[in-house]
Amino acid sequence: MNKKPPPVRLAVIGVGGMAQVHMKHAAELDHVEVSAVCDTSRQALSEAAKQHGCPGFENHKDLLATDICDAVLIATPHYAHTTIGIDALNTGKHVLVEKPISVHKADCQKLIAAHTDKNLVFAAMFNQRTDPYFTKLKQMINTGELGRLIRVSWIITNWFRTDAYYAGGGWRATWKGEGGGVLLNQCPHQLDLMQWLFGMPTRVAGFCGIGKRHDIEVEDQVTAYLEYENGATGTFITSTGEAPGTNRLEVAGERGRVVIEDDKFTFTRNDIPADEFLRTSKEPFGKPSVSNVDIPITGHGGQHKQVLENFIDAIRTDADLIAPADEGIRSVELGNAMLYASLTGKPVDMPLDGEAYERKLQQLIAESTREKKTDTAGPRDISNSFA
């Protein structure tokens, strides 16, 4: 009889709010076991080690010096994604890193450069790529069903957070502790989907409100304008201070318009493509007639659990990754560009100068008057993370 292959031994580094979800999923999945946990907080560490019946490490370097795991899942505050990710890849571990893969573009480049051994699986937790609303839209764009894109607009203002969230302490909402605000914490999912669906823009203008709605030193409100190579334009609007808030993605192509909002996928198809109609119609105020195409979609896909399972499958069977980590640089660069454009008052011609952005961030850290925050656990409510 064939012996069952051993499960992938996964060490979880940073056992806060999000990691609790990942460890629950790992326990439900075949072919993976949590073989170790690591956290700089003794209390969080001892609770997690007890709960999962595995050894705990206070320092990731001590963990990586052992042979206790094949793979690591990094769910620490953002700056540590880069340092721990580099150390893990250099010690021959497969890596699944939470979003954002790093705080800024130059750190992303350092992290990605450490992935020299291509036998190691290096993935990022972009769980919203599993959502059928977005996979359907991607398929429509790729097959040309929407025609050439003219405009994309995402209003994602339902990331509402109270002062209590930010006042909870920990690493959040400072330049030094977190490295940014809504663009870095809540929006990496939408920024990743923007680049995954529409590619990278060639130009980015941004207008960010720094501590506009909360007593924080980072951005909590953003309006950005994007230009794409094919002439399409985009807007991206986000906030953590608006209620009830909106999550509406609208994509206009020559062949029609898709709106994704409130669990509805609405496709209004132009019977004659807009560019053809506007060139050929003799009616000054005419418009192409439309057909409403019903696209029923149920549920939001496998999300975090599916990305974790895919990571394990990629280690065991070479499955294609849902979200290769090197693609994570794009959402970071987009967010960095929006902020940089706002801070400098000038649109950014892409690609962003990563070194210039890093210098700007260092300046913000140096000029900060906020109390020095440490990497200890902050608020742990992730209820809106699955939106």
The binding site for ligand NAD (CB under 6 A) comprises 13-19, 38-41, 44, 60, 75-78, 80, 98-99, 125, 127, 170, 185, 375-378, 380, 382, 385
Backbone angles phi, psi at 66, to 5 degrees: -95, 175
At its nearest, how many Å lie between ligand NAD and the CB of residue 301? 13
Q: Which residue is nearest to ligand NAD (CB)?
A: 16
Q: How far apart are CA 57 and CA 66, in angstroms?
A: 11
Closest CA to 364 of 248, 239, 216: 216
Q: How far apart are CA 167 and CA 55, in angstroms?
A: 32
- Please spell the DSSP secondary structure of 256-316, one letter per residue: EEEEEETTEEEEEEESS-HHHHHHH---TT----EEEEE----S--SHHHHHHHHHHHHHH
352 or 377, CB closer to ligand NAD?
377
At its nearest, how many Å lie between ligand NAD and the CB of residue 370? 17
At its nearest, how many Å lie between ligand NAD and the CB of residue 100? 7
**Torsion on CA atoms 235, 238, 243, 245, rounded to nearest 10:** 50
At its nearest, how many Å lie between ligand NAD and the CB of residue 72? 10
192 or 254, CB closer to ligand NAD?
192
At its nearest, how many Å lie between ligand NAD and the CB of residue 315? 20
Length of the chain: 387
Residue with tokens 């339902």, as numbered in its chain = 158
Is-cis flag, bond preceding 351, omega within 30? Answer: yes
At its nearest, how many Å lie between ligand NAD and the CB of residue 41? 4
127 or 270, CB closer to ligand NAD?
127
220 or 254, CB closer to ligand NAD?
220
Closest CA to 338 of 225, 193, 177, 198: 225
Give the rounded distance of the alpha carbon of 317 from its chain centre. 25
269 or 305, CB closer to ligand NAD?
305
Q: How far apart are CA 178 and CA 197, in angstroms?
A: 27
Q: Which tokens in the block code for residue 54?
A: 């595995």
98 or 254, CB closer to ligand NAD?
98
Q: How far apart are CA 102 and CA 53, in angstroms?
A: 30
Bridge partners of residue 220, in order along the sequence: none
List the Cα angle 166/23/30 in 5-degree steps.
Answer: 155
At its nearest, how many Å lie between ligand NAD and the CB of residue 42? 9
18 or 32, CB closer to ligand NAD?
18
At its nearest, how many Å lie between ligand NAD and the CB of residue 84? 6
At 20, which amino acid appears?
A: Q
* CA distances (Å), origin 279, targets 276, 284, 286, 288: 5, 11, 11, 12
At 35, which amino acid appears?
A: S
Q: What is the DSSP letter of 187?
A: T
185 or 240, CB closer to ligand NAD?
185
At its nearest, how many Å lie between ligand NAD and the CB of residue 168? 9
State in Å, rounded, how far the first CA of the chain is from the last one: 46
Closest CA to 196 of 138, 140, 139, 121: 138
At its nearest, how many Å lie between ligand NAD and the CB of residue 190? 12
35 or 270, CB closer to ligand NAD?
35
15 or 252, CB closer to ligand NAD?
15
